[in-house]
Structures are given as structure tokens and as C-alpha cells.
Amino acid sequence: MDKIRRRIKQIDWSVPFDIYSLFDKEKANIHPAELAGVLSNIPIEHALPIFESFSDDLKAYIFSYLEFPDQIILIKRLPTAQVGAILNNLSSDDRTQFFRDLSNEDRTNYLVLLNEENRKSTLDWLGYDEKSVARLVNEDFATIYKYMTVAEASEHLRKYHIDSEAANVVYVIDEDGKLLDDIQIRRLVMNEPERPVSDLMDGDYISLNIKDSVDDAIDKFMDYDRVVIPVVNDTHILVGVVTVDDIMDEFEARETEDIQKFGGVDKLDYPYVQTNFFKLTQKRATWLVVLFVGEMLTATAMSFYEEEIAAAVVLALFVPLVISSGGNSGSQAATLIIRALSLKEITLKDWWFVMDREILSGLTLGGILGAMGFFRIVAWHNFQWYDYGEHWLLIALTIFFSLIGIVLWGTLAGSMVPLLLKRLNLDPATSSAPFVATLVDVTGLIIYFSVAALILSGTLL
Amino acid sequence: MDKIRRRIKQIDWSVPFDIYSLFDKEKANIHPAELAGVLSNIPIEHALPIFESFSDDLKAYIFSYLEFPDQIILIKRLPTAQVGAILNNLSSDDRTQFFRDLSNEDRTNYLVLLNEENRKSTLDWLGYDEKSVARLVNEDFATIYKYMTVAEASEHLRKYHIDSEAANVVYVIDEDGKLLDDIQIRRLVMNEPERPVSDLMDGDYISLNIKDSVDDAIDKFMDYDRVVIPVVNDTHILVGVVTVDDIMDEFEARETEDIQKFGGVDKLDYPYVQTNFFKLTQKRATWLVVLFVGEMLTATAMSFYEEEIAAAVVLALFVPLVISSGGNSGSQAATLIIRALSLKEITLKDWWFVMDREILSGLTLGGILGAMGFFRIVAWHNFQWYDYGEHWLLIALTIFFSLIGIVLWGTLAGSMVPLLLKRLNLDPATSSAPFVATLVDVTGLIIYFSVAALILSGTLL
């Protein structure tokens, strides 16, 4: 793609342009996804005539591979008749997805361009919860009946489902359309033509309910290694299928959202480069401002200890070191627990197990960092790199015990807050690294100055 | 699964136990993955006799669904003959994966249990780079020849590939075994028996080279929405296939690694609950110690400003607030850029675009937080919640300009360090949230005290 991007930059737009000349291979071997990739890298005024030159089928195919912002730019400039043809030619899941992303006004405008059948089905799908698998359901699936022979089933498929994209698996339904079983289409090839379909049925199939969440669907695909799963409604009538390619896209989007949340950014609706500056800044500012307000408490906390700082300025020197250690160990613990929750390696029931383990971890890690901090001061003082005064050993002990306390607290907070959020039915990933760091900063200061007061009172304080 | 976990807890091990009684459905409908899930939740001494009661085929099937640590626990307790049967019955990709994870000593011990053909192929696969698709390659695929008719091809498949798991797609090869095309098996059903296979060929197929990286394979599956992709060697001979279920597992593992790295934890080899305490603490301590050493520079930096702090203790109060704002904005920027790089939304060529954009973001976000900090001091002082002395306005200005500088610097560092790492062919995700925060803490202090020196010299300083 990099090579092609370079070639795009060298195009001389003043002469007629053949998009296929960009590729090193024959026209027949170029995938619509590749054409979509090229088009989204060409300025719209040049991309438009190229797109219009394609057949209706290819237009819809390419359209389905474009990102939503590019879809909108394109469709707003196409003549209405072409728009209608594209939207009607889309597969039902791609169509539902497109309509779901539209503004209310655009949705009304484009719905009228659909033929009656497509409009009805799109409106049906749009009625389901946004988080349900409904928006991924493809109505393009192939069915056969139990009473058929393998030869009859094959004949039936040839006659009614020749274009069916998802037909690696066919579904056996009864007269009411209720799902009875799934059969890999290869089994129709592998079995003698005269065998009855009922012979191939084993009643062992996996299905999704139309109201199941996309998250459940992802789990089912992962757990059972499927490439397509049938979707039924509450009366077990087969309404469509979900395919693994859509599941992978959803999975990637979910991961992106988790990672961005963990980094302290609100979920972006579009890729980084396609999100406009204002929107991006707004999303970032929201979280930064919340964290800033929280962090302001550090200034308040510090002001309570102003006298101690004035009496022993040396205490201030270690503030960043001490509180950041709490933040870092908290971020670590939060990452581990959030990920383990998301992979279902632990559940809420493991609360006490996690707590026991993290207390032990916190003490060990705090002990290691505390020892390092202790020896840092002892070494600096004795090599005379820095003069910590006559109470240098007490200062070193203050750092030692503070670090144990703060790292323990950071580890505990980092690991328990995600579980707490989960318990409250909130997204554990909300306890982002910056969030945990802020939480630990404020409490860390209190721990630090309390330990200092305990150890240094009567000497420095 | 939760329901089943509860039931497992209630099992009375003193009486004979039927594993199928744990499920609410018929024996025929229970998936081997579900049995594997139950077995890994039962103490090994009870799980062993249950596992041994299964047929050889089912043992291998269940074994392939167990996590590696569970596989090891189980296999070390089984009689040698059973181990041999299981290992020989595994599919070639599962077998390669298992042998790759073994210690050198165990690998030698178990290799002798394989039959000659399996041992040769396992040793072949193990020879490839660990990051290459070789370890995911399944040798169980179905081939046909160009000169066959649809009926002959079907007959051929029935004869030679009836057990082929991955046979949703069959591959047309020439006499040397070179890959010519892929054909969806449903097209054999959908076409008249007397049509020649060559009629169905369109030369439009995607393949992977055996040396391609797993990352490339993931991208190809995502870009082309495939469920299976053939793998060829350097002479274009078809050597196997990679299926989407393995790709999803790899994808999930890659994401987990990225997220853990970003949270400042070394990649864990096993799930959180299965990693023993010592190993887990070691992984966490490594990064924490590195960060701690870096963060020690803050104490050094602060000591240079000890006189300023002694002269104006009020400056110390804002240290945590000011440096954490830099860390938070840096974490945000790093998340966005790391994710955009990983999704290939941006490449190294976008360096200047990203820099321009992040400078503008940094100034805007810094301006917002700076204004908040400014008004915090003005308000607290004027409502007499805190007395910042006669130079309160200068202090407020110090905070304002420091925040702009530090947030700008944090944003720039957070966004450019991942690109720099990528440029050096290192993993961008290494610039974790804690790493960026530490980097920004040290430099943030220097910015803060320099701005303070500039604004306050002659008054407070």
C-alpha cells in the first residue's frame, strides 16, 4: 500500500487516469478492498469519476470496504439514482451499519432510496439495541430441509442460493423456519448424493439470539472456533448469520476502545487521522480536566504540610519520586486486572484471591523500591554527593517506609478499583493509568508526610 | 461456565462421578472445548481418571483446547502410550505449538513418542522463526487438479479428504504441488457436475509465504475478510493453510501484550491467575525498578532548586499537580499514536503531520489546564481559603505558563517517542504510560522551576 500511495502522489491528473495502472497485477486479481484503499487516498474530486465508472455491483462492494467518513463524503456527491443502487446492493449487515452511523436527518433521506423489502428489513434491524448482534446480522444465508437427499439439497442450493456469500455452512430448518441444525457444505460434497440430509444431522450446533450482545458473540466465536454462527429470534426462527470477518472488526474496535480508555482518552468514533482537530481535543480535554481537578487535591494536601516542608525542605525533594512509584505500581496492577477481567481469566468471585495476591505483591515491590530509595540516600550522603544533614539515616528510613506504604497502596488501588467498577456494572477499563496515578498521588502524599511526621518528629520536624 | 464452576465445587468426590452430569444438555451436544473448560477447573487427581476414560480422538481434541500449563500438568501424569496417542492425534498446528512451548528437555522426551511422519513435520515446523506463520500452519487441507470435472473433484475429495477439517476451501494445484487457485467448496455444490474445474478458476486468490510474520497474516485476514488462507513456500508449493480461529487467538495475544506493555508490565507468558507469584513479581519489578531509577532523577533535579523551594515553599505545593498534568497528557498522546500505528492508520511518513497536530493539541490542552490552575490560585486567594502572599498573581502566572509548557512537552514526548521507537525498529508500545510519565516528570520539573525563576526572580526568589 505504501508503494501505491507513492504512486498516487505522482499521478498527473490533467490526463485521463486508469486506476488499474496503479497495481502490479492483472485487473481480475485486484480485490475491491484494494480499490477502496486507493480511492480513500485520492482527493474526492478525482475519486468521484473513477468510482462512477464502476458497475453497480462493484460500487456497492467497494463502498462496503470504505470507512464511514469516506462513505459519507462519497455518497453526498453521487447522483441519487446511483446512491439508491449502491444502498440496495449492499449486504444487509453493511447496510444496517451504514444507516446506524448516519445522522437522523440523513437516515430519513437515504431510507426512501431503498426498495420496500430492504427498507423494511433495515428498519427492523435498527430497532435492536446498538450493542446487540442485530447490526451484524447478514440475511444472506442458505437453508435446506431435513426431508431432502444430498442431491436434492445441492440442487436446491444451486437454484435458490447460488449467490449466497456465507454459504460455507447451510442450515436445516423446519416448515416454520425454525433452526434444526447446521451442516458444513463440504459434507454435501463428501457424502453420497442419495443419502438423506437427516443422516448428516447431529443436532450439535451453536447459535446466537438476536438480542445477544456483540461481546457475547465475540466470546462464542473465540470459544468455539467458528467462522459463521446462525442467529435466531426468541421463537428460534433462523433470521440470519454473523460471520467471523465482522466479529474480527468488532473485536479490534473493542480493543481500541479499551486501550484508549486505559490511556485516558474517551473512545474515538473514527481513526486518529480522520477525527478532526476540534473533536479530538475535546475528547482529550474532557478527561484531562477531570484528572486535573482530582490532582488539584495534591496542592490542597501539600498545603497542610507546608510547615513540615518549610522545616525540612529535603522532604519536598522526594515528593515526585515517592508518589510516582505509587502511580506506576498502580498502573501495572490495573493493567493486569483489567486485561484478566476482559479475557474472563478472573471474575468478581476472585476478589479475595486478587486482594491477597496483590497485598503480597505490593509489599514485595514496595520493599524492593524502598530498599533502593534507602540506599540511594545512604550512598549519596556517604559519598558526599549530597548533604542530607545529621539526620540522613532518619530521612532514608522515611523514604523506605513511605515507599512500602505507597507502593502497597498503589498496587491495591490499581487492582481493586477495576473490580469495584465491574461490581457497579461500569467498564473496568475506565480506571485508566492516569486515573489510578491521580488517585494514588493524593493519598500517596498523605502517606508520605504521615510517615515523615512519625519518624522525624523531634528531630527535623 | 459460572453455573458449572459452582456445580464443580459441590461435587462429592467419594462417589463415582459422571462429568456429563454437570451439563444441562445431551452428551452429543457437549463441545470438547466445554469438557476442557471443566477439566481445567477440577483438581488434577480427579481430572486425570475422567480424562483417561475418553477415547483417543476425544483426548486429543480436548487436549488442544487446554492452556499450555494445564497441558503440561496433565501430560506429565499420563502413561507414555496415552501421551503418544494424544500427541500423534493432534492437528499439526496444535502439535507444533505444544512442542514450541516445551522446555528443551521435555521436547526431546516427547518427540520420540511421535510417529516418524509427525516427528519429521514437527521438527520442520520448529525450524521456522517463532514469529513466522509456520507455527500456525495446518497440514490438513484438501487439493484438487485443474483437469478434473466438478464430479471428479467431488469424488476425489470424498476419497482422500473426507476428514479434512479446513475444507471449506479446496486448492487447485499442478503436478508439482504448486498452488494455482482456491475454490470455495460450495462452488462445487453450486455448479453442474460435468463442468471442468478449470471453468471455476479465476486466478484470484490470496496466499501467505511460510516465512511471513504472524502480524502480516493477521493483517491479511482482516483486510481480505478470509477464514482460511493457503501457505506456500519459496517455490510456491502449497504446504498448508492458516485458519481464522488461530489468527483470532494470536490477535488476542498480541493485544494483551500491547496492553500489558503499555501499562508497564513485561509480557506475561500465561494468564494472570496461572502465572506464579514469583514470576509475576519479577516481571513487574523489572519495569518498576527501571522507572524508579529514572524517577530518581527527579530528586536530583529538585535538589538543584532546593534554595528556590526554601525561599518559596509555595512552589513545592504545586509540584505534583504540574508534573502529573504533563504525565497525563503524555499518556493520552502515547495511547493515540501507539494505537494508530498498530492499526496502520499512520506510518512513519506521517511524522510531521503528527507533530504539527500534537503541538497544536498540546498548546490548546495546556492553555485549558493552565487557565484552570491560574483561576484556582486567584479564587483560593481572593476567597481567602489560602493565603498565597502578596505575589499571588505572579504565582498564578507561574502555574499558567508552566502548565502550558509542560502539557505541550508531555504531548509532544508522548506522541513522538512511539514514532521514534518505530523508526528504530523497536516496539512503539514500549513507550508505556508509566515510561512517558517518568520522562515527563524529570523534564517537567526543570520547565516548572525555570518558568518560576523567570517570573518570580526579584520578588519571591
Average pLDDT in the A26-45 region? 84
Q: Which structural domain, as residue segments, surrounds residue B191?
A: 143-244
Give the angle subtended at the CA of A439 by the CAs of A437 and A442, to the nearest 5°: 105
A103 and A28 both lie in a single domain? yes
Q: What does the pLDDT read at residue B162?
A: 66
| Grid coordinates of A446 | 498523605
Q: Is residue B354 part of a domain?
A: yes
* Facing A332 at nearest CB: one of B264, B292, B321: B264
pLDDT of residue A19: 83
Query: Bigger pLDDT: A427 or B396?
Result: B396
Question: Hey, are the CB atoms on B437 and A327 less than 8 Å from each other?
Answer: yes
pLDDT, chain A, mean: 86
Is A121 found in the same domain as A53? yes
* Contact across the interface for A263 and B336, Cβ inside 8 Å: yes
Which pLDDT belongs to residue A302? 86
pTM of the predicted model, to two decimals?
Answer: 0.74
Q: What is the mean pLDDT of residues A44-73?
A: 88
Confidence of residue A167 (pLDDT cuts 50, 70, 90): low
Residues 6 or more apart in contact with residue B351 via CB below 8 angstroms: B419
> Rounded to whole angstroms, how far apart are CA atoms A87 and A108?
13
3-state secondary structure of A71: helix
User: CATH number, domain at B85?
Assistant: 1.25.60.10
Q: Is residue A135 part of a domain?
A: no
Q: Indicate the pLDDT class of residue B166, thresholds 50, 70 and 90.
A: low
Whole-angstrom Cα distance, residue B62 to residue B35?
A: 7
Report yes or no on A133 lying in a domain: no
Specify the amino acid at residue A100: R
Chain B residues within an 8 Å CB radius of A295: 320-321, 324-325, 328
Cβ distance A150 to A188 under 8 Å?
Answer: yes
User: In terms of domains, do A33 and A60 share one?
Assistant: yes
Q: Does residue A248 sit within a domain?
A: no
| B16 falls within a domain | yes
Structure ipTM over 0.90, yes or no: no
Write out pLDDT tens, residues A370-393. Answer: 999 999 999 988 888 888 888 889
Q: How confident is the model at residue B208 (pLDDT cuts 50, 70, 90)?
A: very high
The most confident of the ranges A157-166, A370-379, B431-440 is: A370-379
Q: Is the pLDDT of residue A319 over 80?
A: yes
Cβ(B187)–Cβ(B197) under 8 Å? no
C-alpha cell at A15: 490526463
Mean predicted confidence (pLDDT) in B449-460:
86
CB contact under 8 A, A184 and B202: no
- Is B28 a residue whose pLDDT tops 80? no
Residues of B in Cβ contact (< 8 Å) with A338: 259
Residue A405 is predicted with a pLDDT of 95
Whether residues A421 and A298 fall in one domain? yes
A179 in a structural domain: yes
Is B182 a domain residue?
Answer: yes
Cα(B54)–Cα(B85) distance, rounded to whole angstroms?
Answer: 12
Q: Does B120 touch chain A (CB under 8 A)?
A: no
Burial zone of B130 (CB within 10 Å; 0-12 exposed, 13-18 middle, 19+ buried):
exposed
Q: What is the CATH classification number for the domain harbouring B424?
A: 1.10.357.20
Residue A220 three-state SS: helix
Phi, psi for B51 (deg, rounded to 5):
-60, -40
Do A206 and A104 belong to one domain?
Answer: no
State whether B6 and B52 are in the same domain: yes
B190, pLDDT greater than 80: no
pLDDT of residue B86: 92
Residues A354 and A278 in one domain: yes
Confidence of residue B212 (pLDDT cuts 50, 70, 90): very high
The angle that helices A44-52 and A68-75 make with each other, rounded to 10 degrees, is: 70
How many angstroms separate the CA atoms of B345 and A271, rounded? Answer: 7
Q: Which of A2, A158, A324 sits opposite B441 (nearest CB)?
A: A324
Identify the residue with better confidence: B327 or A433.
Answer: B327
Top-ranked range on mean pLDDT: pick from B43-57, B239-253, B398-412, B436-450 = B398-412
Q: How confident is the model at residue B449 (pLDDT cuts 50, 70, 90)?
A: very high
Per DSSP, what are the bridge partners of residue B213? B132
Q: Does one domain contain both B167 and B115?
A: no
Number of domains comprising chain A = 3
| Dihedral of alpha carbons B330, B334, B337, B340, sign | negative
Tell me, yes or no, whether B287 and B409 share the same domain. Answer: yes
Q: What is the DSSP letter of B241?
A: E
Specify whether A24 is located in the same domain as A91.
Answer: yes
Q: How confident is the model at residue B63 (pLDDT cuts 50, 70, 90)?
A: very high
Q: Work out the percent of chain A whose per-residue pLDDT is above 70.
A: 98
Q: Which of A92, A127, A162 is the last residue of a domain?
A: A127
Instruction: Please give the average per-residue pLDDT across B352-357, as a whole number.
Output: 89
Residue A166: pLDDT above 60? Answer: no
Instruction: Identify all chain A residues contacting B364, using CB atoms and an 8 Å cutoff.
Output: 281, 285
What does the DSSP 8-state code read for residue A132? B
Q: Is the pLDDT of residue A451 over 90?
A: yes
In-domain check, residue A260: no
- Does one domain contain both A396 and A336? yes
Mean pLDDT, residues B77-103 taken together: 88
Question: Is there a single domain that holds both residue B359 and residue B228?
Answer: no
What rounded mean pLDDT belongs to chain B?
86
